[in-house]
C-alpha cells in the first residue's frame, strides 16, 4: 500500500458547496488525515489574505494561493512569484477596451477596476472579498494573480496572445463569465512540485482534489488526482480518479476509496 503523506484541496466547488458551507464529512475526513500525520494544504485561486477563516475551520495552516503564485508551509514562504508588470498593464488595456472588469490580487488587497459596478459587487460578495480597493499604478509590480470579469463566450481568447498564459473559466454557477489568468510557469501544479521537493515527499504519496481547469496541473502532477463530480467537463482527463460532487461528500468518498478513512 502507498504511504500517503500529503493532501492538497481546492476551495470553491471542492471544499465549499454552492451555499458556501463545508460538509461535516469533509471536516471529518480532513481531521482523520491530520490525526494520521498527513500534511494538508489549501490550494486555491483565491488570495491568501481572504481565506484565514476556512483554514481555521479545518485547522489547516499551509496554503497555495493565487493559483500557485504564493505558497506557505506553516508560516514559511516556499514560493512567491509576482506577474510581469507589462503583462498586467496590457491585460488592463484589453479589459478597458472591451468593457470587462478585472481584479488584481496583491499579498494584502484586491484591487478592482471598479468598486461600484454591480457585477464586481456580486463577485466580491460571492468570494467573500473584503480587503478591496481600486487599481493604482503603484501596485502593478506587486500582482500575484488576476481574475477577469464579465467576459462573453470566447472573449477569453483576446487575452491569450502570450503563449505562456492561458485563462481558466471559474467553475461556479453564475460566475462563468469570470476567468483566472494562469501562467504556464506559475500554477498550482508547479507550487505542489516545489512543496513536495521542500518536504522530501515523492509525488506518488501526494493526493489532490479539484473541480476547475485551474486545477489541471495539480491533479496531473500528484500520484492520486481526484476530479469532483461537479468538475468542469474538460478537467476529467487530467485526473486519475473521479469522485462524487461537492454536495455528495466528494472529498470523503475519494479518500475512503484509497483506504484512508475508517
pLDDT (tens digit, 9 = 90+) per residue, 43-96?
999 999 999 999 999 999 999 999 999 999 999 999 999 999 999 999 999 999
Domain residue spans of the chain: 6-81+186-257, 85-183
* pLDDT at position 161: 83
The pTM of the whole model exceeds 0.75: yes
CATH class of 6-81+186-257: alpha beta
* pLDDT at position 79: 93
Report residue 4 CA to chain centroid gap: 22
* pLDDT at position 162: 79
Active-site residue identified among 10, 12, 180, 211: 10
CATH number 3.30.1240.10 is the correct assignment for the domain at 85-183 = yes
Please spell the DSSP secondary structure of 164-229, one letter per residue. TEEEEE--STT-TT-EEEEETTBSHHHHHHHHHHHHT--GGGEEEEE-SGGGHHHHHHSSEEEE-T
* Ranges in the chain, pLDDT < 50: none
* Cβ neighbours of residue 95 closer than 8 Å, sequence gap 6 or more: 101, 102, 113, 148
Q: Could you tell me if 191 and 199 are in contact, meaning their C-beta atoms sit under 8 angstroms apart?
A: no
Is residue 10 part of the annotated active site? The answer reads yes
Amino acid at each position: 500500500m502507498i504511504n500517503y503523506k500529503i493532501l492538497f484541496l481546492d476551495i470553491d466547488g471542492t471544499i465549499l458547496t454552492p451555499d458556501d458551507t463545508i460538509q461535516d464529512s469533509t471536516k471529518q475526513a480532513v481531521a482523520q488525515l491530520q490525526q494520521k500525520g498527513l500534511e494538508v494544504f489549501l490550494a486555491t485561486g483565491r488570495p491568501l489574505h481572504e481565506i484565514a477563516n476556512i483554514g481555521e475551520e479545518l485547522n489547516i495552516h499551509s496554503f497555495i494561493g493565487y493559483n500557485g503564485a504564493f505558497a506557505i508551509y506553516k508560516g514559511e514562504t516556499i514560493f512567491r512569484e509576482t506577474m510581469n508588470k507589462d503583462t498586467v498593464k496590457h491585460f488592463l488595456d484589453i479589459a478597458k477596451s472591451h468593457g470587462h472588469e478585472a481584479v488584481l490580487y496583491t499579498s494584502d488587497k484586491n484591487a478592482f477596476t471598479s468598486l461600484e459596478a454591480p457585477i464586481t459587487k456580486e463577485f466580491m460578495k460571492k468570494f467573500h472579498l473584503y480587503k478591496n480597493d481600486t487599481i493604482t499604478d503603484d501596485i502593478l509590480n506587486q500582482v500575484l494573480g488576476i481574475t477577469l470579469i464579465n467576459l462573453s463566450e470566447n472573449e477569453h481568447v483576446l487575452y491569450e496572445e502570450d503563449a505562456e498564459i492561458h485563462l481558466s473559466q471559474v467553475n461556479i454557477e453564475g460566475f462563468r463569465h469570470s476567468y483566472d489568468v494562469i501562467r504556464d510557469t506559475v500554477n498550482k501544479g508547479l507550487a505542489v512540485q516545489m512543496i513536495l521537493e521542500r518536504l522530501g515527499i515523492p509525488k506518488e504519496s501526494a493526493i489532490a482534489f479539484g473541480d476547475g481547469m485551474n486545477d489541471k496541473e495539480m491533479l496531473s502532477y500528484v500520484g492520486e488526482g481526484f476530479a469532483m463530480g461537479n468538475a468542469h467537463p474538460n478537467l476529467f482527463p487530467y485526473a486519475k480518479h473521479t469522485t462524487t460532487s461537492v454536495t455528495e461528500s466528494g472529498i470523503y468518498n475519494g479518500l475512503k476509496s484509497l483506504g484512508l478513512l475508517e
